[in-house]
Structure 1
Amino acid sequence: MFLRAYMRASTTEQDANRAREELEAFAAERGLTIAAWYIENESGSTLKRPALFRLLADAQPGDVLLVEQVDRLSRLTAADWNKLKAELATRQVRVVALDLPTSWMMATASTDAFTARMFAAINDMMLDMLAAVARKDYDDRRRRQAEGQLKAKVEGRYKGRPEDASRNAGIAQMLAAGISWSSIQAATGCSRATVAKISKRASEAA
């Protein structure tokens, strides 16, 4: 059994490594060692998370996916959460979250098959509940943000997010040099839509 720690932040401005010390302390208290770290800056509302799926590809049956909080793993819709759960079940990966005490015993092998099975069932139920709460929080924040922007627009105060001129100039240079869109995304952390917008702008200016 290996502990594989997964850390996620939504944007590049946030520190995805923030929980490292807490995860290390949790493992050390149980005489365990974290075998590998998987870190990324991606939204928890999407399944398009390369580091998470690299973890799952590396995992062996019985390995543990260790996270600080359930919302680091999922802010997914119910349908996508079910897809991720099916992937975890297929690979026989156990989820342990620091904010979910019922999951803690999953970090150690149990000799009592009945107790292990009971805790697994309870843990699955609690994971579902916390994943649903995390998604609701995500939806609520998005709704409040949209309402705030609409109010600001009506009042003439909303200017939108300022453009990152230096980054976009760099993207334009990379496009002119023939660098692929995927490579530009990986290098800058921007979305494909941003690359498309700058590519279109460059074409119109040509």
Structure 2
Amino acid sequence: MAYYGYHRISTKEQHLDRGIIEIERFCESQKIKLERIFTDKITGKNFDRPRYTVLIEDVLRSGDTLIITELDRLGRNKREILKQLRILEEKGVRVMVLELPTTLIDLSQMENNLAKMMIETINSVLIEIYASLAQAEMEKKEKRQREGMEAKKLRGEWDEVGRPRAIEQEKFNQEFLRVIEKEVTPTQLQKELGLTSSTFYRYRKKFFEKFPEFNQFQK
């Protein structure tokens, strides 16, 4: 049985340090031996994240425990959050969410079945509520962004906003993982995305700058 942490942030302006420190302090206070913390700097709208994928597919085993600070570190889409929690449960992986104290209770050590059932019920309800709140916050943020851009257009300040990119960098990062996994060649992906060679390699350069652990695939 091993303990792993996972933390995600969605923008370059945020720093991973706070979440990492929170997980490390918790493990220290509980005398838990933490093997490693996996981190991603990418949107929470989906689960196509390099480090999360490695953690789920190649690292976590039945009996292991995954520690996260908040439920929305997994994502901000309720359906996907619940789907991932089910996948972890099916793998036999326990999830501890630091913002939900009842998830920190080791139910496998409880002999009172009634108490165990009550805590499981509480966990299910709290997870549903927090997943809904995370999605609502994400939708509110997107609404404010759309309204802000519309206001700039009306004020004639559209040039400050700039034209949308041909493709968002995060979307490119997700698609470029197919090249890393040898599902497609770089040329095939470039054609699929409808990018010029110069644009494709500019995005490619930013991908490797953001994820240096994949630098071996630059050759």
TM-score bracket for this pair, using the shorter chain length: 0.7 to 0.9
Query: d(CA) in 1 for partners of 2:89 and 2:2?
Result: 16
Q: Which position in structure 2 is the counterpart of 1:112?
A: 111
Q: How many residues align?
A: 177
- Report sequence identity in percent: 24
SS of the counterpart of 2:18?
A: coil
Distance 1:184 1:83, change over 3 A: farther
Q: Which position in structure 1 is the counterpart of 2:140?
A: 140
Matching of residues 1-206 of structure 1 within 5 Å: 1-57=1-57, 58-78=59-79, 80-106=80-106, 110-112=109-111, 114=113, 115-158=115-158, 159-160=160-161, 175=197, 183-184=204-205, 186-189=207-210
Return the offset for 1:37: 1.2
Distance 1:135 1:186, change over 3 A: same
Which ranges of 4 or more aligned residues in structure 1 deviate by more than 3 Å?
115-118, 178-181
Query: d(CA) in 1 for partners of 2:89 and 2:123?
Result: 13
What's the CA shift string for 1:92-114, capped at 9, x where partnerless? 222212211111114x8514262
Distance 1:93 1:125, change over 3 A: farther
8 Å Cα contact 2:74/2:81 also seen in 1: no
Return the offset for 1:30: 1.2
Return the offset for 1:33: 1.5
- TM-score of the pair, normalised by structure 2: 0.70
What's the CA shift string for 1:53-106, capped at 9, x where partnerless? 22222111122111111111121242x233212211221222212211111114
Q: What value does the CA root-mean-square deviation take over the aligned residues?
A: 3.0
SS of the counterpart of 1:19?
A: helix
Q: Which position in structure 2 is the counterpart of 1:196?
A: none
Opposite residue 77 of structure 2, the aligned amino acid is L
| Further displaced range: 130-139 or 152-161 | 152-161
* Structure 1 gap segments, 5+ residues each: 169-174, 191-206
* Structure 2 gap segments, 5+ residues each: 170-196, 212-219
